[in-house]
């Protein structure tokens, strides 16, 4: 029996080998699996920038390796092929197959997309991913992007960001008036209503704008990326917490026609790799922010400060008004926002009892 089983195994292996040599003789699936694809991916980030810019690079490398070279993706940094804030349009039109950026950059084109990056005083990294993967958020996201011929995937999250770098002290709500600050998304509208002037700039232009006085302040990400840009050399006061982006999610968007051209196994490789990059980035930013913050704290020219309670209180009140008005003016935002806040009510209770209580205990 053992000999017959062994011989039978050899026969099966020979058959599989023959299939590999001549996929056309072994059914349509084998023939499909031999297809190769070469895609272009445009991003909103400086080329190969730590964290943000390397996420799509890592995605491309992993997809190519997992697919044995059947899907190759060429990454272009912001401005190399299309401007940083035109990723959405380029992928939607089919100019390129893929893009990587943040959905709140699409404000004015599809306002409801902002829920999938960051809502001021909203969900953290873990909470947002829970909503997307297990709370129904992904279905809403796909529904929102369908008219634009796009298929979205979460691909990265920086965790809670910092409040930003300021060339003036923020001691009261009056200090927000007249403040020119680089801040995108809903956070920018909150600042405007608080008396400031929000400015939208791609990452590559932030340092010069802050150094020359074109802006008075900027939020970017956190210590890891802020130090990479040298923002600590252009401003003295480093404020926290990042009320405007408590857990901003990043996205990969794929042109639907390009997505449908992929066989099922390559679709699964792309989807799974996007999720892997999200997990990897969380670890990268937790480590990078921790190390960089320790270095920044040693610099005598930097003052690390917490926003005054009255400032955070005003910003929170305004933020609620801004989101309410968005939901009232846009049916898509109303549908997504209702689901978002219903889930936030559920998940925040667990976060309070588990995460926050533990952190308070550890620090006491």
333 burial type by CB count under 10 A (0-12 exposed, 13-18 middle, 19+ buried) = buried
Given this chain, do its domains 35-156+247-286 and 161-244+301-329 carry the same CATH topology?
A: yes
* Window from 23-32, 59-68, 237-246 with minimum mean pLDDT: 23-32
The CATH class for the domain spanning 161-244+301-329 reads alpha beta
**Which of 25, 35, 20, 27 lies closest to 265 in space, CA to CA?**
35
What distance in Å separates the CA atoms of residue 15 and residue 228, rounded to the nearest whole number? Answer: 55
Domain residue spans of the chain:
35-156+247-286, 161-244+301-329
Look at residue 116 and tell me whether its pLDDT is greater than 60: yes
Round the average pLDDT of the chain to a whole number and report it: 92
Q: What is the mean pLDDT of residues 9-21?
A: 41
Q: Would you state the torsion angle of the CA atoms of residues 96, 99, 103, 109, taken in this order, to the nearest 10 degrees? A: -10
**Which of 245, 281, 66, 286 lies closest to 155 in space, CA to CA?**
281
| pLDDT > 90: percent of the chain | 90
Tell me what pLDDT residue 33 has.
62
Superfamily name with CATH number, domain 35-156+247-286? Bacterial extracellular solute-binding protein, family 7 (3.40.190.170)
Look at residue 298 and tell me whether its pLDDT is greater than 80: yes
What distance in Å separates the CA atoms of residue 57 and residue 77, rounded to the nearest whole number? Answer: 10
What is the tens place of the pLDDT at every residue in 317-363? 999 999 999 999 999 999 999 999 999 999 999 999 999 999 999 99
Tell me what pLDDT residue 34 has.
84
Q: What's the farthest any 2 CA atoms get from each other in the chain?
A: 88
What is the tens place of the pLDDT at every residue in 268-294? 999 999 999 999 999 999 999 999 999
Strand partners, 240: 306
What is the tens place of the pLDDT at every residue in 215-268? 999 999 999 999 999 999 999 999 999 999 999 999 999 999 999 999 999 999
Tell me what pLDDT residue 69 has.
98
22 confidence band (pLDDT: 50, 70, 90): very low
Q: Are 225 and 50 in contact (CB under 8 A)?
A: yes
What is the tens place of the pLDDT at every residue in 168-206? 999 999 999 999 999 999 999 999 999 999 999 999 999
Look at residue 1 and tell me whether its pLDDT is greater than 60: no
């Amino acid at each position: 029996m053992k000999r017959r089983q062994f011989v039978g195994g050899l026969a099966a292996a020979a058959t599989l080998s023959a299939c590999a040599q001549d996929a056309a003789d072994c059914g349509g699936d084998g023939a499909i699996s031999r297809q190769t694809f070469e895609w272009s991916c445009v991003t909103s980030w400086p080329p190969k920038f730590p964290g943000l810019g390397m996420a799509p690079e890592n995605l491309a490398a992993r997809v190519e390796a997992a697919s044995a070279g059947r899907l190759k993706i060429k990454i272009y940094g912001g401005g190399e092929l299309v401007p940083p804030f035109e990723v959405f349009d380029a992928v939607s039109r089919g100019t390129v197959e893929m893009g990587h950026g943040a959905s709140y950059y699409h404000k004015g084109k599809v306002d409801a997309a902002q829920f999938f990056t960051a809502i001021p005083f909203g969900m953290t990294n873990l909470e947002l991913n829970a909503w997307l993967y297990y709370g129904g958020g992904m279905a809403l996201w796909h529904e929102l992007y369908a008219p634009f011929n796009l298929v979205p995937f979460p691909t990265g999250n920086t965790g809670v960001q910092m409040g930003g770098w300021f060339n003036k002290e923020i001691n009261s709500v009056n200090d927000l008036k007249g403040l020119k600050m680089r801040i995108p998304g809903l956070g920018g509208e909150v600042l405007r209503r608080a008396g400031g002037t929000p400015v939208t700039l791609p990452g590559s232009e932030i340092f010069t704008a802050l150094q020359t006085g074109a802006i008075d302040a900027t939020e970017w990400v956190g210590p890891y990326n802020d130090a990479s840009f040298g923002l600590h050399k252009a401003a003295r006061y480093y404020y926290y917490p990042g009320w405007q982006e408590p857990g901003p999610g990043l996205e990969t968007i794929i042109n639907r026609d390009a997505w449908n051209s992929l066989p099922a196994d390559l679709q699964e490789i792309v989807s799974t790799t996007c999720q892997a990059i999200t997990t990897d980035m969380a670890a990268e930013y937790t480590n990078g922010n921790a190390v960089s913050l320790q270095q920044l704290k040693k610099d005598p020219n930097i003052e690390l400060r917490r926003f005054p309670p009255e400032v955070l209180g005003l910003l929170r009140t305004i933020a609620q008004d801004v989101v309410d008005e968005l939901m009232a003016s846009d049916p898509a935002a109303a549908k997504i926002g209702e689901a978002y806040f219903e889930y936030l009510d559920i998940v925040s209770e667990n976060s309070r009892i588990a995460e926050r209580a533990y952190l308070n205990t550890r620090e006491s």
